[in-house]
Amino acid sequence: MKKIICGSFLFFALNIILGCAALVPIVPVVGTIYDGYVGWKEHQSVKYYAADIVTIHRAVMLSSQQLNLKVIRKQPSVKKGHALEVKCKEPLQIEILPFERRVTKVVIKINLLGDKQFAHFFYQRIDANVAKIRRG
């Protein structure tokens, strides 16, 4: 019993000193998590989806239809990707690119920083449509 109490005390003391870094070895790693994080750099945002490129392309097209936005297809920068321009207040350039097996990267480029909220809203629409497509 004395060893358990000493071990627990040592664990909590290390956790307080090192913060959450002490918990990293304890958390089991199941796989890479891609959904949920939107990264911003200058006028470009990136979000990763744990779905194939066909599903994400359908979700982007469905999202633009629901918002009554005109979509213009463009030449993609990657061979197996899709490039679109969505006409709204300010045009959005969207690239749907394969990242890893069954992981797709969606890049939204915006001209004005004020359209950042619209890009977040568009990502939320994509999320909802991906869930709808997966349900069938």
pLDDT on residue 79: 73
CATH of the domain at 77: 3.30.310.80
Range of the domain at 69: 31-135
pLDDT on residue 24: 46
Round the average pLDDT of the chain to a whole number and report it.
Answer: 77
**Closest listed residue to residue 50, CA positions, set 83, 117, 121, 99:** 99
Is the domain of 4 the same as that of 62?
A: no
Is the domain of 62 the same as that of 72?
A: yes
Is the domain of 52 the same as that of 111?
A: yes
What pLDDT digit, counting tens, does each position of 5-64 carry?
877 777 776 666 665 544 444 443 333 444 556 777 777 888 999 888 999 999 999 998
Is the domain of 60 the same as that of 10?
A: no
For the cut 80, the answer to whether the pLDDT of residue 71 exceeds it is yes
| Adjacency order of strands within the sheet including 38-41 | 38-41, 44-49, 103-110, 92-100, 82-87, 70-74
pLDDT on residue 76: 67
Q: How many angstroms separate the Cα of 88 from the Cα of each of 4, 13, 18, 111?
A: 62, 54, 48, 12
pLDDT on residue 19: 54
HSE-CB for 36 with a 13 A CA cutoff: 3
Is the domain of 13 the same as that of 67?
A: no
